[in-house]
Amino acid sequence: MFDGSALPLAENIAQTRQAAALAAAAGASLEAELGHVPLSGNADAPLPAVEEVVEFVDATGVDALAVAVGTVHGYYRRAPKIDLDLGRRAGAAVAIPLVLHGGSDTPRETIAALIRGGFAKVNVSTEFQHAFQKRLAGELACLQETFMPLDKLMQPAVDGAVAFLRERIRWFADPSG
């Protein structure tokens, strides 16, 4: 993943092109980001135009592209204004998979529409980490300040986070479900 989304478009393209060349030389794929996905509460970042998406993909040679469509990293502080039409048009305009950054807390029907429009990867790191933290906090509370080896303490939290991801993967496989 290379994130040049905070850069002006021309500089993002130039730096991403270099990163894509390095990745290709190493036999790796590269995901890049176009349009900034802000932290929760700051959801008014400008979105890219479809023409910019096409220009970016053509000029950089990336394997996957995270296109900002109005989602945020973290939990939403107000109802999201996600541009489904931009997602659909971007998906139709390029031949590479699109990636949704800021998938956590995004309504299931919105994710379903974006998947139908060409998004092939959905990032849900905030919800994943939160599932882990909640389970770990519960395990710590049960200990009532007694000792438990770290590997035994962590396993239920890991299992809970994995269960969360399995549920989301089922969502993504059948988003209308």
| CA dist 141 → 26, 61, 136, 137, 159 (Å) | 46, 50, 9, 6, 17
Residue 80: its pLDDT value, please? 85
Residue 107: its pLDDT value, please? 92
74 in the same domain as 4 = yes
Range list of β-strands (E), 3-97:
31-34, 64-67
Strand duo 31-34 + 98-100: pairing: unpaired
168 in the same domain as 100 = no
55 in the same domain as 132 = no
Residue 42: its pLDDT value, please? 61
4 in the same domain as 89 = yes
Which of 102, 123, 144 terminates a domain? The answer is 123
Residue 177: its pLDDT value, please? 65
Residue 39: its pLDDT value, please? 84
Q: Residue 122: in which H helix or E strand, if any?
A: strand 119-122
Write out the residue range of the structural domain in which residue 145 sits.
124-177
Which residues have C-beta within 8 Å of that of residue 49, sequence separation ≥ 6?
A: none
150 in the same domain as 109 = no
109 in the same domain as 78 = yes
pLDDT tens for residues 87-109? Answer: 999 999 999 999 999 999 999 99
Regions of the chain short of the pLDDT cut 50? none
| Total number of domains constituting the chain | 2
81 in the same domain as 151 = no
pTM of the model: 0.89
54 in the same domain as 28 = yes
- The residues pairing with 64 across neighbouring beta strands, listed in sequence order, are 31
Cα–Cα nearest to 65, from 33, 92, 103, 90:
33
Residue 129: its pLDDT value, please? 95
Residue 176: its pLDDT value, please? 67
119 in the same domain as 60 = yes
Residue 41: its pLDDT value, please? 66
